[in-house]
Amino acid sequence: MDFNKINDQLTVSGQILPTEVTTLVEKGFKTLICNRPDEEVEDALQSTAMETAAKAAGLNFRYIPIYPGQFTDENVSELTAAMTDLDGPIYAYCRSGTRSCTLWALSQAGLLDVDAIISQAADGGYDLRGMAAYLAGK
């Protein structure tokens, strides 16, 4: 289980297991967000299984599937709402953490300085420099 901390509000990683959600609670996380589409994983790792495990452990849960390279305005709005409405810190995952980090960056465009977005992503191990012009234009 990786902990790629983007900032005090968000940590991202690759796929986690239902049995690992208790570790998230022990580390102080309050919300789990699944950005991995159910079509990518076996039944035991699908969003319904992860939601059941998360809620049993006392975590809030949101399913915001991101298909590779297909970030929608709706996805960005859903993450923004989750970050506003649900307690943090938040732990989000996908296959590698890249989609979760990128979705966060898109949600921050226009709110944070582009350099701050790129720097926070880099702190978590993600290189979003290639998105700088796009983030600046949002």
Structure confidence at residue 138 (pLDDT): 65
pLDDT tens digits for the chain (138 residues)? Answer: 899 999 999 999 999 999 999 999 999 999 999 999 999 999 999 999 999 999 999 999 999 999 988 999 999 999 999 999 999 999 999 999 999 999 999 999 999 999 999 999 999 999 999 999 999 986
CATH 3.90.550.40 fits 4-105, yes or no: no
In whole angstroms, how far apart are CA 5 and each of 51, 100, 110?
22, 12, 21
Gap between the Cα atoms of 114 and 135, Å rounded: 6
